Structure 1
Amino acid sequence: MTISTLPEEPGTCIYRRVFPGHSDQIGEVRQFLRTHLGGHPSAPNVTLVASELTTNAWEHTRTGSPSGTFTVEARQRADNTIRLEVHDNGGPTGFGETNLDKEGGRGLGIVAALTVAWGVSGDATGRTVWAEFKP
């Protein structure tokens, strides 16, 4: 387990951990975020969005393969905003390409509703899905 608390700029901390790409790690992600962001007003939303994004990484990318991993990073800035990032192992399709109208695509609608912005970067070799939260 790797947990980093790194100053980026004055008043900003980054909490980062690499998880095995197993479904039982979704609960570990929630606990990790509660431990580090528990007092933040957006912590419940960050935790819910992280559950959705890590589940999608596990289900829709190489992260769910036997040797797969994913990384969760929460950046708490001096202005009390939070940026959540989930880095996956990529694959032929990505969870950012999920159709919001299809069964099973509702989670990204939740992500959109609980964040001020979110997006996807990367390609079949690895993707990052990020989400921004205000207090």
Structure 2
Amino acid sequence: MENAKLVGSTANEWLWATEKMRWRRVYPGRVDQVRAARAFAETLFEGMPCVDVVALAVGELAANAVRHTRSGEGGDGWFGLEVVCDNPVYIAVTDMGGHGIPTVLPEGYGGSYSESGRGLRILYELALMFGMHGSSTLGHTVWVDLDLNRKLEVDAQAPVQLVS
């Protein structure tokens, strides 16, 4: 970053400078930290059209890291969150590996009442780009590129399953 550009600039010019805004955080591999990661991302994108899509992506990727990898085992695991505020928005979660490879399941997998297995499919359908790199041994990074202006649309006609 060139310091000369900052002298005399407005707060808005500084905030929206040409450099991409990037954040990285590491969270303990616990379920309560999924909520913390999601809240962090919601704060970053507050007031932007994509805030709900970003929150969904962070929540799903972090939950998968805690639930399906060594990140959530043994009490000393962790997952990393990387967020880039640009267009497209970049969201990535890095886990500690293990237990297979993150997979987008086929459309309709498990039926409409399945309790798991559909999260990555939903992200895949919302994303401009979607990918994964790494290994079961070294850890995976699952990432999505999202449209900065995309709102999360809810289908009012979709059946809702009530749980008590």
- Which bracket does the TM-score occupy, shorter chain normalised? 0.7 to 0.9
Q: 1:89 aligns with which of 71, 74, 96?
A: 96
Q: Please, which runs of 5 or more residues in structure 1 have no aligned partner?
A: 1-8
| In 1: Cα distance, 2:119 partner to 2:99 partner | 20
| In 1: Cα distance, 2:95 partner to 2:23 partner | 17
Percent identity of the aligned residues? 34
C-alpha change, 1:98 and 1:112, in structure 2 (3 Å) is: closer
| In 2: Cα distance, 1:48 partner to 1:98 partner | 16
Q: Does 1:73 align with 2:79?
A: no
Residue matched to 1:46: 54
| Structure with greater strand percent | 1
Residue matched to 2:123: 111
Q: Which stretches of structure 1, 4 residues or longer, exceed 6 Å deviation after superposition?
A: none
Shift of 1:126: 0.6
TM-score, scaled to structure 1:
0.84
Q: 1:132 aligns with which of 134, 145, 156?
A: 145
Pairing of 1:2-17 with structure 2 (within 5 A):
10-17=18-25
The alignment partner of 1:92 has SS state of: coil
| In 1: Cα distance, 2:24 partner to 2:105 partner | 29
C-alpha change, 1:31 and 1:83, in structure 2 (3 Å) is: same
The alignment partner of 2:47 has SS state of: coil
CA contact (8 A) 1:49 1:110 kept: no
| In 1: Cα distance, 2:32 partner to 2:128 partner | 28
- Alpha-carbon RMSD across the aligned residues, in angstroms, is 1.6
Aligned residue pairs total 124
TM-score, scaled to structure 2:
0.70
